[in-house]
Amino acid sequence: MTDFRDLHVPGRPLILVNAWDAASARLVAAAGAAAIGTTSAGVAWSLGAPDGDALPPDGDALPPAAAVAAVERIVAAVAVPVTADVERGYGDVAETVRRISAAGAAGVNIEDGATARPDRIAAARAAAPGLFLNARIDTYLAGAGGLDETVERATAYLAAGADGIFVPGVTDPATVAALVARIDAPVNVMAGPGAPPVGELAALGVARISLGSSVAQAAYGLVARAAAAVLGDGGYAELAGAADYGTLNALFTPGVPGRG
């Protein structure tokens, strides 16, 4: 298996199509992904819980055991490295990260929120020295600061042991370029509709691009539209373009070529 750290190359970014269960992970891997990133929102929704981003600070709703079990299923489903989004750490950051590492993950994302939390990064580093530790900075998402505040937090997180810096909520090319220039570590941005294409972000020096919860949202959006259609006018048009049954089943059939 490719070393997960080696996949973070400025100018040749690692692309993470974030998955939330074994099937979505295996589909992403089958498409040729070099690694799988989980989406904490997608995992939470699939297990009947809200995403922690929508809750007050330190208000993660998903039980740590459920989050770890989801990571274990995804790791078992694919033959590429998996990095796990653990929100704020699900309570005891060190214990959660130890369990995520034991589950076979190669990396972990830990977010801060409205205020800097280098203590979380230091606890995670001490708990799992071998994991690629991606520190998520929510200055732009939370409206808690601009470029200088983001760089200040990044510097503190790198000093605490982070390997990479994730700044979601930023797609402006000039800002992305400034972050890459001022942060001495692989920079991760979150992309989707309205963001610059992968090639443009790569040219800016980005080392990692995540899709976050957007793929899970798109999948659940399809469920909502299909249900509304068949329960409304009785139509099935929303089901066009569905994944082939045989292809999906083959991904999980022992002995079938291409199975993870």
Confidence of residue 119 (pLDDT cuts 50, 70, 90): very high
Enter the pTM of the model: 0.93
Whether the CB-CB separation of 110 and 43 falls below 8 Å is answered with no
Rounded distance, CA 37 to CA 213, Å? 10
Q: Which residues of 8-28 are buried (b: 16+ CB within 10 A; e: fewer)?
A: beeeebbbbbbbbbbbbbbbb
Domains of the chain, first to last: 4-213 (3.20.20.60)
pLDDT at 58 over 80: no
pLDDT at 260 over 70: no
The distance between the two most distant Cα atoms of the chain, rounded to a whole number of Å, is 58
Q: pLDDT by residue (tens digit) across 129-161?
A: 999 999 999 999 988 889 999 999 999 999 999
Output the CA torsion sign for 75, 132, 111, 213: negative
